[in-house]
Chain A
Amino acid sequence: AQTVTQSQPEMSVQEAETVTLSCTYDTSENNYYLFWYKQPPSRQMILVIRQEAYKQQNATENRFSVNFQKAAKSFSLKISDSQLGDTAMYFCAFMGHQGAQKLVFGQGTRLTINP
């Protein structure tokens, strides 16, 4: 079974700083997908960024980028120029390539951006 581990329960940075959230996973599959979801205080789950394992290029979405290291099974999220609205829980998630597209989530990292 796949597992996803986020080793940083909480992080705190100043506004405009860059912050990196860590995620490692374990799988025997070769093709899969990795995601970062954001959950603000409103509780809504929001997809931040997606990475296909077969793509060597790291995904980027505006201020959000990932460092995908397939051999190390590592998938970190970098937030540049952090903003107060980035304050949220962040979840790393794994999805296998086949079957019913089930997500396996990490425990989450609570990120606080301070003014």
Chain B
Amino acid sequence: DAGITQSPRHKVTETGTPVTLRCHQTENHRYMYWYRQDPGHGLRLIHYSYGVKDTDKGEVSDGYSVSRSKTEDFLLTLESATSSQTSVYFCAISEGLATYEQYFGPGTRLTVT
């Protein structure tokens, strides 16, 4: 299994509070991604990173920001959480080479009340 961890694994927070989710990898992979999973939508890309301090928006980036100051860590921040951001969040990594395979973390279940 690829070395990807996410923290926290579960979190309940109140509307309007800031929340930061962490993704940590031990594989030294170049690409890192944040997805959210909601019923009826599959997984949708929030933000991704193609190197340290290099990030870009995905399909559903509104209300989220990211940072990557080290190769191994990719942070997802909800500046002011809303109930619509209740979801399961997955981090993924990829070497960026010919296999084109993404390896997923275990997910974080976030509930915004």
User: Closest Cβ of chain A: how far from B105's Cβ, in Å?
Assistant: 9
Give the contacting residue for A44; candidates B33, B40, B50, B104; CB below 8 A.
Answer: B104
Q: How many residues of B sit at the interface, in one of the four size bands?
A: 20 to 34
Please, which residues of chain B bring their CB within 8 A of the CB of A105? Answer: 35, 42-44
Q: Is the interface of B mostly helix, strand, loop or mixed?
A: strand
Chain A interface: which of B16-24, B63-71, B74-82, B95-103?
B95-103
- The CA of A37 and the CA of B97, in the complex, are separated in Å by 19
- The CA of A35 and the CA of B89, in the complex, are separated in Å by 20
User: Does the CB pair B94–A44 fall under 8 Å?
Assistant: no
Cβ contacts B49-60/A at 8 Å (1 or 0 each): 010000010110
User: Does the CB pair B94–A101 fall under 8 Å?
Assistant: yes
Number of interface residues of A (CB under 8 A): 20
- The CA of A4 and the CA of B41, in the complex, are separated in Å by 10
Give the contacting residue for A45; candidates B31, B45, B48, B90; CB below 8 A.
Answer: B90
Give residues 98-115 of A contacting B (CB, 8 Å): 100-108
With most chain B CB atoms within 10 A of its CB, the pick from A33, A44, A103, A105 is A103
With most chain B CB atoms within 10 A of its CB, the pick from A93, A101, A102 is A101
User: Closest Cβ of chain A: how far from B24's Cβ, in Å?
Assistant: 17
Chain B CB within 8 A of A36 CB = no
Chain A CB within 8 A of B112 CB = no
- The CA of A103 and the CA of B59, in the complex, are separated in Å by 11
User: Does the CB pair B107–A43 fall under 8 Å?
Assistant: yes
Give the contacting residue for B45; candidates A4, A103, A107, A108; CB below 8 A.
Answer: A103
User: Does the CB pair A100–B101 fall under 8 Å?
Assistant: no
Chain B CB within 8 A of A19 CB = no
User: Closest Cβ of chain B: how far from A31's Cβ, in Å?
Assistant: 11
Residues of B at the A interface (CB closer than 8 Å) are 31, 33, 35, 40-45, 48, 50, 56, 58-59, 88, 90, 92, 94, 96, 100-102, 104, 106-107
Kindly list the 5 A-B residue pairs having the minimum CB-CB distance in the complex, ordered from nearest.
A105-B42, A45-B104, A105-B43, A107-B42, A43-B107
